[in-house]
């Protein structure tokens, strides 16, 4: 049986460990998956089996044991107990440099039987850890990763932002040192080069070499600290990362130059070592800034959740608290210009709110007593009082942060491809550099020349561009969509959206407004409409709410009694169905209002298309995505709305199983369907579709099964998500081609001796910046 075939067999609890990663394998097989089979065969083919077994497959060699007396950190305060009994912890990783680091950490965690999820996000440098057991096990699990040379700290937005700021300052300081020293050493080198053509004496040349050494060596030590510290930390624990070959390259160049200085040689390469560090640091600084921008959206959400709120107590006193300390039902005072920290209902006052963070709508919205407000919304008007309905992790803002984090942390097809490419880089880099050194020595080159070529190979083959190729696109696309009011819930939603060839809409609440609209009322009947609205204020019936919404703020009438399923009464006045009001007949969506001495008055309601529904349908047609309406409503109502928005194909009277069967039939015929729905009856169809979307006003079950949820009152997020998905797929493919093409071109050139170490550093940094720059174009996507 081949390794690939064995990898495809189902695993069982008593199966042996995978020969590559140690996970349970199918009975009779050596590997748990095709990826492990391919990686194992590659490593064996390179003759690196022993290296792999000693350095990677046995991560417990130096890991502290529970009984070894090693000090343990108490992380239980940061552990979150899940409803299913598992424990979860989010950690920030210091020292994460490349895709090989991600693979190493995840491989070690996968071998622990307690761990259910151990996922590292390369772009945000965040580890999401879920395990089965006690909260106290966190210290042991974290210890396994720290034994690899990484430092893990609980993920806290404030502390993480401060740490990132310090990291940025350190990188800029090192960049300044490298740039200053490189410029001065280059000036001294110009004098040396000019002297070679003018019979410079050996004593003068030696003096210039020593002055250059005194200036360059301290600068190399100071500017190279970010790389040297990381390399030393992992080597002490018997590991390696991409800072090891980079450090070796710098030290090789500096060592060769120092040896030539002591030997009074004709050439030194201090300027190459400094230029190498300068370009590497320049790439790190720009990459650090690009990553910071890419992860800013989710971290801003988490930071907003931590802002203090002001609680008004029963005796009128004000008490500042953290949002999670506010209990539902308590009253929170929000001043002008202050951001709301809890979900709730506006108790008193009228104001204007900036809800762009929540809904994606750029225009401020008016809010009055009774309006629902959400955490993250900015109060632009006078102070208001809010009665809390959800706080802490139960708010919409917290859910947004969780959805973004989940979308970033999980993996799609392109991510798995990039990870598979990056994971074998470190041993391959070392073998390639050693082969280049040996080949040039056999070809008659001097030891110094061969070492310089090996250093260039070590530097030019850094897999940073490959590791960033897909995560950078995913994070930027998810952040860009969130700012447009679109939340991605599935890790593969972007990839599947890009492949959609058919779009199906539900009618009610999706193509149409969630609430019915009141038909025009004659001016002479406006006073009666006001009276009816005063009665309807106390009811939660959809038609009553639509009536009140059409009239606007109105004081509630006294003595109103609700008769379930019939209507409202207030003295002799009645508001409700035709039968309840004593009116013969009656049809459609309507309310009747009767009072003594007045003729019965009918208030009719119509289903109104969403404001931009027709424009969205036209855009989908231009994209080659013919829309279809599937509805359970009456044929006349469905046809009327479909014509209003420009949809030519529609089907009415469908039950939930009928919608499901229709979606499955389209899938069987080869279509990849995007289903957009909001009702309870849309749940099965949403789950069966290739990819699905729901508005924020949808039923809970629809939002649960949907791959993305969009905010606001418009349908434009549907076309925006499709546009972004297609752009993101194109950017992922471009990034992988750029990253792999760079290595295909540069590695042979470096091995052939045509690339100096400093030029290798410039090329390596340029490849990473090219990938980040190509990904950053998604910020400028126009809707």
**Residue among 547, 549, 569 nearest 558 (CA):** 569
Distances (CA, A) of 166 to 47, 172, 278: 41, 10, 19
Cβ(689)–Cβ(674) below 8 Å: yes
Region of residue 49 (left: phi > 0; alpha: psi -120 to 50; beta: else)? alpha
- CA–CA separation, 123 and 404 (whole Å): 13
- Out of 506, 612, 633, 678, which one is annotated catalytic? 506
Whether 682 is catalytic is no
| H, E, C per residue of 477-546 | HHHHHHHCCEEECCCCHHHHHCCCCEEEECHHHHHECCCCEECCCCHHHHHHHHHHHHHHCCCCCHHHHH
Order the strands of the 365-367 sheet from edge to edge. Answer: 365-367, 351-354, 378-379
**Residue among 166, 267, 186 nearest 226 (CA):** 166
**Residue among 712, 710, 728 nearest 778 (CA):** 728
Cβ(387)–Cβ(370) below 8 Å: no
**What values do phi and psi take at 491, rounded to 5?**
-70, -25
Contacts of 270 (CB under 8 A, 6+ apart): 185, 212, 213, 216, 217, 220, 254, 257
| Cross-strand pairs, 92 | 126, 153
Cβ(532)–Cβ(508) below 8 Å: no
Buried b vs exposed e over 211-238: b needs ≥16 C-beta within 10 Å?
ebbebbbebbeebbebbbebbebbeebb
**Residue among 5, 40, 1 nearest 23 (CA):** 40
User: Could you tell me how far CA 7 lies from the centroid of its own chain?
Assistant: 30
Q: Where do the DSSP E strands lie in 299-425? A: 309-312, 318-321, 331-334, 343-348, 351-354, 365-367, 372-373, 378-379, 384-390
Q: DSSP per residue over 381-400, as a string?
A: SS-EEEEEEE-GGGSHHHHH
Secondary structure class of 676 (helix, strand, coil): strand
**Residue among 516, 513, 519 nearest 645 (CA):** 513
CA end-to-end distance (rounded Å), the chain = 52
Cβ(437)–Cβ(450) below 8 Å: yes
CA 748, 753, 757, 758 dihedral sign is negative
Tell me the catalytic residues: 506
């Amino acid at each position: 049986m081949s390794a690939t075939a064995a990898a495809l067999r189902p695993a069982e609890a008593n199966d042996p460990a995978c020969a590559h990663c140690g996970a349970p394998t199918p009975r009779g097989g050596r590997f748990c998956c095709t990826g492990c089979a391919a990686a194992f065969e590659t490593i064996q083919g390179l003759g690196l089996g022993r290296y792999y077994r000693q350095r990677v497959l046995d991560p417990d060699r130096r890991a502290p044991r529970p009984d070894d007396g090693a000090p343990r950190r108490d992380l239980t305060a940061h552990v979150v107990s899940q409803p299913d009994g598992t424990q979860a912890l989010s950690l920030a990783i210091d020292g994460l440099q490349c895709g090989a680091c991600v693979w190493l950490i995840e491989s070690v965690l996968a071998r622990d039987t307690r761990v259910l999820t151990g996922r590292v996000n390369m772009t945000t440098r965040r580890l999401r850890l879920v395990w089965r057991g006690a909260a106290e096990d966190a210290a042991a699990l974290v210890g396994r990763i720290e034994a690899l040379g990484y430092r893990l700290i609980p993920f806290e937005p404030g502390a993480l932002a401060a740490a990132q700021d310090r990291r940025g300052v350190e990188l800029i300081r090192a960049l300044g040192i490298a740039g200053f020293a490189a410029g001065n050493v280059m000036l001294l080198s110009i004098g040396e080069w000019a002297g070679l053509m003018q019979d410079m004496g050996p004593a003068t040349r030696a003096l210039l070499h020593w002055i250059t050494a005194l200036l360059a060596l301290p600068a190399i030590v100071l500017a190279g600290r970010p790389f040297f510290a990381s390399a030393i930390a992992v080597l002490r624990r018997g590991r390696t990362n991409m800072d090891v070959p980079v450090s070796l390259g710098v030290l090789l160049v500096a060592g060769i130059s120092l040896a030539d200085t002591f030997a009074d040689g004709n050439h030194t390469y201090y300027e190459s070592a400094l230029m190498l560090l300068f370009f590497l640091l320049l790439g790190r600084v720009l990459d650090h800034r690009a990553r910071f921008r890419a992860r800013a959206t989710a971290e801003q959400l988490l930071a907003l959740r931590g802002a203090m709120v002001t609680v008004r107590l029963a005796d009128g006193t004000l008490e500042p608290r953290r949002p999670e300390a506010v209990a539902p039902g308590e009253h929170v005072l929000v001043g002008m210009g202050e951001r709301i920290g809890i979900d709730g209902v506006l108790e008193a006052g009228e104001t204007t709110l900036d809800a762009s963070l929540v809904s994606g709508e750029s225009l401020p919205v008016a809010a009055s007593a009774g309006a629902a407000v959400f955490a993250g919304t900015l109060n632009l008007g006078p102070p208001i009082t809010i009665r809390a309905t959800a706080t802490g992790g139960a708010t919409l803002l917290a859910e947004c942060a969780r959805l973004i984090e989940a979308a970033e942390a999980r993996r799609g097809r392109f991510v798995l491809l990039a990870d598979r490419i990056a994971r074998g880089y470190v041993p391959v880099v070392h073998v390639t550099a050693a082969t280049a050194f040996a080949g040039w020595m056999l070809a008659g080159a001097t030891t110094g020349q061969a070492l310089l070529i090996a250093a260039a190979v070590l530097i030019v083959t850094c897999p940073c561009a490959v590791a960033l190729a897909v995560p950078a696109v995913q994070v930027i696309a998810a952040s860009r969509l969130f700012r447009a009011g679109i939340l991605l819930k599935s890790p593969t939603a972007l990839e599947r959206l890009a492949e959609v060839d058919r779009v199906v809409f539900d009618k009610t609440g999706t193509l149409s407004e969630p609430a019915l609209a009141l038909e025009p009322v004659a001016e002479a009947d406006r006073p009666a409409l006001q009276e009816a609205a005063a009665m309807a204020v106390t009811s939660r019936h959809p038609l009553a709410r639509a009536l009140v919404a059409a009239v606007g703020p109105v004081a509630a009438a006294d003595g109103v009694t609700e008769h379930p399923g019939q209507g409202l009464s207030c003295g002799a006045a009645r508001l409700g169905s035709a039968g309840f009001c004593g009116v013969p007949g009656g049809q459609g969506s309507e309310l009747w209002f009767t009072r003594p001495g007045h003729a019965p008055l009918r208030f009719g309601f119509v289903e109104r298309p969403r404001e931009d529904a027709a424009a969205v349908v036209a855009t989908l047609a231009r994209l080659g995505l013919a829309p279809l309406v599937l509805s359970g409503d009456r044929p006349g109502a469905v046809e009327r709305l479909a014509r209003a928005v420009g949809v030519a194909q529609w089907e009415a009277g469908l039950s939930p199983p009928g919608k499901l069967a229709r979606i499955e039939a389209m899938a069987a015929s080869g279509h990849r369907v995007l289903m957009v729905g909001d009702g309870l009856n849309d749940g099965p169809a949403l789950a069966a579709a290739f990819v699905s979307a729901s508005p924020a006003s949808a039923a809970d079950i629809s939002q649960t099964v949907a791959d993305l949820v969009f905010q606001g009152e418009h349908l434009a997020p549907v076309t925006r998500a499709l546009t972004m998905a297609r752009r993101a797929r194109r950017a992922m493919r471009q990034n992988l081609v750029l990253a792999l093409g760079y290595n295909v071109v540069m590695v042979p050139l470096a091995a052939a001796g045509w690339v100096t170490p400093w030029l290798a550093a410039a090329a390596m940094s340029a490849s990473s910046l090219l990938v980040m720059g190509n990904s950053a174009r998604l910020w400028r996507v126009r809707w």
